[in-house]
């Protein structure tokens, strides 16, 4: 069923290019590439954070996060393919940009050769990080070599720097430069907050799925509660960053800044902005406020699905306004959704069938299973 959905979605996505035009095709491709990338990076950040902090409670959950982080592989391929969208979506990549002072002044950064080098460098760093953190963990299952834990712990600080710098580059290059006259110093943190929240939601959804199938039976309420607590905390953090960016620009009221929000705050886009606030903050916040809700698998499952949907809406809200004054949603968007969601589910399902559900070679697994709040 998932395979059929993926094939039909792929046909609809390809049809978008010929039937409607390259702009809408590449806008959808970019949104879904960023969606896969942010989920994969967010999950890998959770893995690295465990090693960096020497956390024990999350050791039994780490394999699930490592499997979700594998989405980085197709995401990197999709983002590299999106380089073909530059002259279609990005004004700075067109010849007439040289005659617009606000864009021409950024030509040293916003030019196709340097942009492409940055993308390929980011892709290389992401894949290297995934290979070291997830690959070493899988290798440890076979060897039970404690030295691999030391390797991953030593690599974790490097990945934190990679995560920070590459998220900043992605936010400036792929998001902000869609409207190159505009800029925001907060956009990098905003994208990081959304990425980690999406990664947490995907990991929580995968944990709920495995628990529902009788796997990860050793996990107790305490483990699930801690994961739900992280999801709750970063729901608040994303909302704080989103509000801080808006408030600073609203207060300064500079023409070169506020036009970006004015576009998204009027007409039909106003309702998308309102829906984003409700689905990305209000509902998940109040759903996870009760203590027991954070460890309730049923509630955590639907909240995780909602957060992932809200993160997609966030990326859609960042990208699609460049196509016009009204949101676009019809068969092309449904086709892309079917293709990318189906491909992601097939990728994760394949990884779920490989190896143990927990890092059985980790020397701290037993201590992690004994964790109590």
Instruction: Give the single-character DSSP code of 107.
Output: T
Calculate mean pLDDT across residues 111-125: 96
> What does the alpha-carbon distance between residue 275 and residue 100 come to, in Å, rounded to a whole number?
35
Q: Judge whether 321 and 264 are in contact, CB under 8 Å.
A: yes
Per-residue tokens: 340: 């990318």
29 or 256, which is more confident: 29
Instruction: List the single range of 96-110, 166-180, 305-319, 352-366 with lowest mean pLDDT.
Output: 96-110
Euclidean distance between CA atoms 74 and 58, whole angstroms: 26
Opening angle at CA 42, ends 38 and 45, nearest 5: 140
DSSP state string for 215-269? -STT--HHHHHHHHHHHHHHHHHHHHHHHHHHHHHHHH--HHHHHHHHHHTSTTH
Angle of helix 147-170 relative to helix 112-130, nearest 10 degrees, comes to 160
Which of the listed ranges 116-125, 218-227, 266-275 does the model predict with the highest average pLDDT? 116-125
Query: Across residues 256-270, what is the average pLDDT?
Result: 88
Q: Which residues 6+ apart lie within 8 Å of 166 measured at CB?
A: 41, 122, 125, 126
142's tokens: 């076979």
Both tokens of 52, joined, read 């960096």
CB within 8 Å of 115: residues ≥ 6 apart? 83, 86, 93, 173
What mean pLDDT is predicted for residues 343-350? Answer: 95
349 contacts 16 by C-beta, under 8 angstroms: no
Task: Give the mean pLDDT of 248-255.
Answer: 86
- Over 90: is that where the pLDDT of 210 sits? yes
In Å, how far are 14, 68, 71, 335, 350 from 4, measured between CA atoms? 15, 22, 20, 12, 16
In the chain, pLDDT over 90 holds for what percent of residues? 82
* CB of 96 closer than 8 Å to CB of 373: no
Secondary element (H or E) of residue 337: helix 331-352
Give SS3 for 114: helix
Question: Could you tell me the two tokens for 163?
Answer: 């995560």
Look at the chain and report how many structural domains it folds into: 1
- What pLDDT shows up at residue 223? 93
The average pLDDT across 235-259 equals: 90
Q: In 82-170, which residue ranges form alpha helices assigned H by DSSP?
A: 86-89, 101-104, 112-130, 136-143, 147-170
Residue 263 has pLDDT above 90, yes or no: no
Mean predicted lDDT score pLDDT of the chain:
93
Mean pLDDT for the stretch of residues 3-15: 92
> Residue 184's pLDDT is what?
86
Closest CA to 259 of 180, 329, 170: 180
Q: pTM for the whole thing?
A: 0.95
* Phi and psi torsions of 97, nearest 5°: -65, -25
In which domain, by residue range, is 206 found? Answer: 2-369
Specify the pLDDT at position 349: 93
Contacts of 123 (CB under 8 A, 6+ apart): 76, 79, 80
CA angle 174, 175, 179 (to 5 degrees): 110
The answer to whether 19 and 48 are in contact (CB under 8 A) is no
The 10s digit of each residue's pLDDT in 311-346 is 999 999 999 999 987 888 899 999 999 999 999 999
Q: For residue range 264-315, list pLDDT tens digits in order.
A: 988 889 999 999 999 999 999 999 999 999 999 999 999 999 999 999 999 9
User: Does the pLDDT value for residue 228 go beyond 90?
Assistant: yes
């Amino acid at each position: 069923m998932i395979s059929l959905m993926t094939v039909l979605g792929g046909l609809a996505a390809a049809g978008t290019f010929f039937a409607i035009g390259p702009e809408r095709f590449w806008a959808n491709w970019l949104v879904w590439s960023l969606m896969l990338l942010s989920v994969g990076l967010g999950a890998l950040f959770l893995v690295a954070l465990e090693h960096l902090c020497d956390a024990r409670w999350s050791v039994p959950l780490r394999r699930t996060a490592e499997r979700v982080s594998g989405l980085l592989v197709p995401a990197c391929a999709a983002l590299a393919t999106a380089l073909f969208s530059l002259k279609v979506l990005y004004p700075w990549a067109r010849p007439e940009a040289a005659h617009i002072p606000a864009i021409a002044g950024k030509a040293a950064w916003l030019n196709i050769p340097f942009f492409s080098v940055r993308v390929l460098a980011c892709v290389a760093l992401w894949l290297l990080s995934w290979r070291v953190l997830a690959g070493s963990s899988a290798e440890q299952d076979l060897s039970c070599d404690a030295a691999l834990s030391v390797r991953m712990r030593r690599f974790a600080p490097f990945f934190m720097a990679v995560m920070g710098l590459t998220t900043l580059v992605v936010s400036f290059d792929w998001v902000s430069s869609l409207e190159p006259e505009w800029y925001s110093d907060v956009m990098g943190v905003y994208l990081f907050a959304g990425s980690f929240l999406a990664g947490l939601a995907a990991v929580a959804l995968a944990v709920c799925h495995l628990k529902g199938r009788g796997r990860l039976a050793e996990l107790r309420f305490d483990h699930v509660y801690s994961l739900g607590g992280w999801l709750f905390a970063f729901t608040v953090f994303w909302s704080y960053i989103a509000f801080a960016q808006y408030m600073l620009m609203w207060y300064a009221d500079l023409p070169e800044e506020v036009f970006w929000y004015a576009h998204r705050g009027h007409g039909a886009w106003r309702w998308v902005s309102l829906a984003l606030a409700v689905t990305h903050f209000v509902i998940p916040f109040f759903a996870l406020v009760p203590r027991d809700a954070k460890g309730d698998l049923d509630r955590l499952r639907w909240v995780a699905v909602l957060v992932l949907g809200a993160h997609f809406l966030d990326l859609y809200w960042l990208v699609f306004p460049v196509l016009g004054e009204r949101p676009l949603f019809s068969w092309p968007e449904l086709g892309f959704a079917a293709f990318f969601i189906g491909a992601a589910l097939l990728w994760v399902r394949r990884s779920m069938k490989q190896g143990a559900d927990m890092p059985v070679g980790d020397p701290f697994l037993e201590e992690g299973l004994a964790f109590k709040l």
